[in-house]
Structures are given as structure tokens and as C-alpha cells.
Amino acid sequence: MEKPGKSDRISDLPWDVLNSIIVHLPLRDAARTSVLSRKWRHKWTSLSQFVIDDKCFPYSLPDKARWGEVRRIFDQVRSNHSGPIEKFKLAAYCHPDHSDLDEWIVFLTGKGIKELILQDFSFIRRFKLPSCLFSCPQLICLELHGCIFKLPPTFRGFNCLKRLQLTQVSIISETLDHLIHSCPVLERLTLLHIDHLAILRIHNPNLKYLKVDSEFEDLSLESSPLLASVDIRMIPMAGRTVCRQLEEGDFSNLIRVLSCLNGIKKLTLSSYFIKFLSNGSIPERFPTPLSNLLSLDLKEVRFNSFKDVAAFFSILRSSPNLEELIISVGHSNEVFRPVVDFLKEQCQYNFFFSHLKVVRIRGLYGTRPEWEFLKLILAHSPVLETLTIVKYGNERVPESLLLHVERASANLKITSLTL
């Protein structure tokens, strides 16, 4: 409690200074400042940033009961807040009341919100976003979970939006296309578990980072020249085939989708998307090399599929400056003879991974195609520094076996592990 005659220097600080201090506290601790004195009773409710996460609740509190605590925070802030709210983040596993959430979003839009982040709800039924959210020209960051996304006729774009993440959001392809096109300074786009997208068009001149982990039938990345990091996992759509028949004269998916990524530095692709890319005629290399690509991460590669192996080799041959290669191997005990012959044939070519320094291969089963691939990497990587091999089962890849394989690098360290 305050003592008469004593100067309270902290309480007398300007509010912008106090705000910059208190926003760095967890919200639960910020709220506890209300017991310091009468002056502090409602100070926390006027913060410019609010982060409601798991730290705000006892671990034993059920998700439905958590929403009661969230609503109590809402009520106190709405009753006492003055000034702008620049950031609001709700990242607590809770079961929200849709009407409460709707009212809160309306309140935030009136407060000049710049960062709105909604994550990790424990419900499936999706809620409709209030139309006022689409009239926030100052939004810089928007992350939404479990909502229905429909653009109102009055939507004129998010001219300041740099980061957009949609998770388990109901949105149609045309709406998503229009949204991406209407964010002229968008730099980061993340699409997680979006259902039943038809053609996914990612056309944005300022986009630098893209992550997709969703259902879709086709993908276009044209008109996004600044893309530097792309991570794509294609989820199979029930009852539909990934490989539609290409017409005569069509470009293969591999060239049509990836050859426009002239500035790409890091590329991550999943097994099902590699299968999609392998549809059509696979060239030995791209018409224009991916000269900026430094890191390639291929997940669940199927070494028993000739077209999949040919597709990722086309990417490897088209990446002259690649420094890091990460591969996880998809489950398969089959040995497809054409794959073995293809990999042996690659060993005969006079091409090298001239800048490759780091290779990590996870989940080896010990099949012949995997072994031929390892031999190829060792024989064609003159500056390779580290090779990490992680094998399924209780036995590691014998180091004695690797010692007798031709190596192009004199300074190679090999680490063999088991899962």
C-alpha cells in the first residue's frame, strides 16, 4: 500500500512508459499489479497488448471453464480500457462462446487492432467472422483458427498486412485468391488444414515465405518473384486422384509449379506433393536453374517409385549451389528395379553437388535403392562435411560398409544413428 508523504516514482511515470514495461509481463502477472494501490487497480486493463495463453490458467482447469475466465478478462478490459489496443493473442486451449468472441472482435476493431491472433481452440464448429474485421486497414498480422472466411462486398484489401495464417478455416479457392491478391505487402502466408481447395493460386509480388499443409488439387506460384522459403505438404483429397491426366503439350507439374521460383533459398516438399509434381514428362533439369536454392528438405521420399525419384533428381540437378540436403524416407520394403538402374546410371554422369556440405537422411530401411543413393551422394559431393544417417531398427548402418565406398570429400564426418 502507498505510504503518505512518500513519492511513488513508478506510478507517476507517463502511461506510455508504464505500458511498455507491463506488456512484457505475462497477463496474469500484469493483472496482479491491481493490488498495489488504488492507482494501479485498473492500469492493466488499459494495456496496448493482451496475450491470453495457457499461463493465464491453472493446468487442471477444463477447456470450457477456461472460457469463463477469458470472458471475465474481456469484461474488465471493455469496462475500463482507454486508448488503442495494438495486439491481441488468444492461444489457450479453450471452448469459446461464439457470441462473446464476436463481440470482442468488434471491440478490438474499434480500438485500431494491428495484430489479431486466434489459436488452438478446442471446438470444431466454426464461427462466422464479423464483417467489421475486413475494415481494418491498419492490420499487420492476422492469424485465425476455426472460422468461416467470407469477404464482404465492401472489402478493399488489407494494405498493411504482412503476415497471414489460416488454420482449419472454411474458405473457398476464389475467396482465398482474392484475399492474397488484396494484400500488396504480404510477406508470410501459412495455410494449415484448409479443406477442399480446388486450385490454390499464390500470386503476390511481395511474398517471401509460404507454408501450405492442406487439401488442394492444383497449385500455381506464378507472379511471386520474392519467394525465398516454400514448405508444401499436400494432403490427399478423399475420393480424388492426385494425378489428373495432362494434355499433350502441357508442361509437367514439376516445371509448371517450381520453375518460376527463381529466388527460392529453402524448399520443403512432402511425399504426396512430390507425387503430384512427378505427373507428366520429367526433364533432366529445369530450363532455368534454381541458382539461389541452398537447402532442400524432402519428406517421406518413396525410393520404390521411379517417377518420384526422377522428380527429386530433376530438382537436385537444377540446384547448382545447394548446400544442405535433408531427406526422410517413406516406409517401403519393396525394391523397384528401374529405380536401382536409374540411380546407378546417375553415378556414371559427370555432374557433382559442388557446394553440398550437409546431408541428413532419416528413416533408412536398408533397401538397395537407398544404398545406391548413398553411394551417389558420397561419390559426387567434393566439399561434403557431414553425413548423418538415421536407420530404422536396432542396427546402425555399418561404418565398415561406408568406409569402402568411394568418397569425393576428404574431410567428411559420418554419423550413423538408429531410431
Q: Where are the domains of the chain?
A: 228-419
Residues 6+ apart with CB under 8 A from 228: 208, 209, 263, 264, 265, 266, 292
How many CB atoms are located within 10 Å of the residue 293 CB?
A: 25
| Among 384, 325, 335, CA closest to 360 | 325
Q: What CATH topology corresponds to 228-419?
A: 3.80.10
C-alpha cell at 167: 488454420
C-alpha cell at 365: 530401411
Residue 121: predicted pLDDT: 79
Contact, 269 vs 303, CB < 8 A? no
pLDDT in tens, 216-272: 999 999 889 999 999 999 998 765 555 555 554 456 899 999 999 999 999 999 999
pLDDT of residue 153: 92
pLDDT of the residue at 94: 84
Convert the chain into a string of H (helix), E (strand) and C (coil).
CCCCCCCCCCCCCCHHHHHHHHCCCCHHHHHHHHHCCHHHCCHHHHCCEEEEEHHHCCCCCCHHHHHHHHHHHHHHHHHHCCCCCCEEEEECCECCCHHHHHHHHHHHHCCCCCEEEECCECCCCCEECCHHHHHCCCCCEEEEECEECCCCCCCCCCCCCCEEEEECCECCHHHHHHHHHCCCCCCEEEEECCCCEEEEECCCCCCCEEEEEEEEEEEECCCCCCCCEEEEEEECCCCCCCCCCCCCCCCCHHHHHHCCCCCCCEEEEEHHHHHHHCCCCCCCCCCCCCCCCCEEEEEEECCCCHHHHHHHHHHHHCCCCCCEEEEEECCCCCCCHHHHHHHHHHHHCCCCCCCCCEEEEEEECCCHHHHHHHHHHHHCCCCCCEEEEEECCCCCCCHHHHHCCCCCCCCCEEEEEEC
The identity of residue 350, as a single letter, is N
Question: Cα(370)–Cα(249) distance, rounded to whole angstroms?
Answer: 34
**What per-residue confidence (pLDDT) applies to 44?**
67
Q: How many residues does the chain have?
A: 419
pLDDT tens digits in sequence order for the chain, 419 residues long? 445 545 566 555 555 556 565 666 666 666 565 545 565 555 667 688 888 888 888 777 887 788 888 888 888 888 888 888 999 999 888 888 889 999 999 999 999 999 999 987 776 678 899 999 999 989 999 999 999 999 999 999 999 999 999 999 999 999 999 999 999 999 999 999 998 898 999 999 999 999 999 999 999 998 899 999 999 999 987 655 555 555 544 568 999 999 999 999 999 999 999 999 999 889 999 999 999 999 999 999 999 899 999 999 999 999 999 999 999 998 776 768 889 999 989 887 878 999 999 999 999 888 889 989 999 999 999 999 999 999 887 778 777 777 778 899 999 999 988 87
CB neighbour list of residue 311: distance below 8 Å, 6 or more residues apart: 254, 274, 277, 278, 282
Rg over CA atoms, the chain: 27
Could you tell me which residues are beta bridge partners of residue 144? 166
Answer whether 86's CB lies under 8 Å from 112's CB: yes
Q: Using the Cα atoms of residue 183, residue 164, residue 121 and residue 270 in order, give the sign of their dihedral.
A: positive
- The confidence score (pLDDT) of residue 402 equals 76
Cell digits of residue 396: 546402425
